Structure 1
Amino acid sequence: MGKSVCFDVLGTCFSFEAAIDAIEDRLGPRLKAIGVDPKTLFFSWFYAAQRDFTYTSVVGAYTPIAEVLKHTLKRACYIVDLPREQAPTEDDIAAVMKAVTSLKPRPGLKKCFDGLRTAGWEVYGVTNGGKETSLNYYRLADIALEPDHLLSCDDVGAAKPDFRVYTTANKHLTFQGVSDAEGDRWFVAAHAWDLIAARKTGFKTAYLGDEEHDAVPEIFGQFDLYLEGMEDLLEKLKNLD
């Protein structure tokens, strides 16, 4: 087999608008009263959950990210000064978590996956999210992705950016017969912290600016490609020597 590309899933392949909209629907008036918008609450919640997901993994107490998210939404609301008597109810939390399992694809994602495969690339996913939830994102987007082409951190028992996730991905690619020649294995993410670990484990790296909007090279160094979106990624990967 020829070249391969591993995609991060949450925030890279699928955007968070559905979850932000659910927060607006369930908590909007309560948040407006304290001057907090749903997008700000979402990302303060999600980034703190990613931190806790990673830190619990570091100390040997790995917990699936969906569980971390479910149990920390109230805390996120308290941190932005939502009164406790207005905290999310169990129904509110369930509605937001349902939206988290129904994220929509980034523009051009299907065209990118289909185009890469047509050009002879093997396409994989490597995600902090649960395996079945992540596979369902692709099903809902009408994008084919076989279970053996998706690695979840739950399978490894470690959170990205733990090197074990990327070395496991590399071993799986080798098992699948994917080329390990210099420059043949790529990792795509919308998070610089994800790509520094991928780079250190031998992947070429491609940064999508959809979520962070700034790769902060002063901290994370230089990546091999910087992209404006999925169609830009498709064209640049197809044109590699």
Structure 2
Amino acid sequence: MSELKPSPDIDALVFDVLGTLVDEPAGIRAGIRQLAPGLDDFTVEKLLALWQQHIEREQRRVCEGDRAYAASDVIDLEAARLVADAAGVEDAAAVAELGLAGRRLPPWPDTVAGLARLAERFPLMGLSNASRTALLGLNAHAGLRWHQALSAEDARAYKPDPAVYRLAVDVSGRPPERLLMVATHAWDLRAAQALGLRTAYVARPVGDPPAASDRFDFHAADLADLAAQIGA
């Protein structure tokens, strides 16, 4: 349910991609199973956590200035090597294939239809930490419809660095308050909000739910619910 009264003063929607529109853990989990088909469920989940922890840590190090910028392709391949080592897999080709798992993430059931509905009224922009190349493959695999897909690679930073959100503001040519940032990660929305963007939280099983202190403009169960709330 929306916390604030819906406003017509929205010129474009800016979407987080990983987690918000695609099921990232499911795609990486599938890649791990392809790497080592004999693994039991418990081990797969441990390796998935290892992957996620590496990605989060290294992106945070970039944001904090402890590591020079490296595109998501580089960090994903590092994660793939860690997972392969833990699984006892030495096949270089299999490791490289796992490194591309982030380009084969399945969309949530409401994603494709929801984007199509919203695109009838608003310009849609994707804003992802995925590299330009990874984002191209991901968009094609998941069938995501955009008017513009923006990669954090263009800012040589990772969300929640303000430089990433400025990409959307600059490309849109509109004031931040005329843009609606849509994400399932509360930390993502807080960073966009700090730059002046309006915010919409969409609930996903893998998201970062809002805290009691968060004041986002919209709270939606899915993209159809969001479309209804903003009059699309």
Q: Unaligned 5+ residue runs, structure 2?
A: 1-8
Equivalent position to 1:232, from 208, 225, 230: 225
1:62 counterpart = 2:62: no
* Sequence identity percentage: 23
What is the number of equivalent residue pairs in this alignment?
Answer: 222
Deviations 1:118-147 (A, max 9, x none): 1x211001110012321332333444434x
Distance (whole Å) between structure 2 residues aligned to residue 21 and residue 64 of structure 1:
22
Aligned equivalents of 1:68 and 1:160: distance in 2? 15
Residue 7 of structure 1 aligns to which amino acid in structure 2?
Answer: F
1:12 paired residue among 3, 17, 20: 20
SS at match of 1:36: helix
**3-state SS of 1:212 partner:** coil
Length-normalised TM-score, structure 1: 0.79
Contact between 1:189 and 1:206, CA under 8 Å: does it hold in 2?
A: yes
Q: How far apart, CA to CA, are the structure 1 residues paired with 2:185 and 2:124?
A: 19
Separation in 2 of the partners of 1:142 and 1:76?
28
In the alignment, which residue of structure 2 is the partner of 1:172? 171
Per-residue deviation at 1:164? 1.1
Contact preservation (8 Å) 2:169, 2:176: no
SS of residue paired to 1:206 = strand
Q: Under a length normalisation based on structure 2, what TM-score does the superposition of the two structures give?
A: 0.82
> Secondary structure of the residue that 1:238 maps to in structure 2?
coil
Find the aligned partners of 2:110 and 2:13 in 1 and give their Cα distance.
16
Task: Report deviation, 1:2.
Answer: 5.5
CA distance in 1, matches of 2:161, 2:194: 11
- Asked if the contact 2:187/2:208 (under 8 Å) is kept, the reply is no
Pick the aligned partner of 2:117 from 115, 118, 129.
Answer: 115
Deviation at 1:40, TM superposition (A): 4.3
Change (3 A) 1:227 1:88: farther
Show the counterpart of 1:98.
Answer: 100
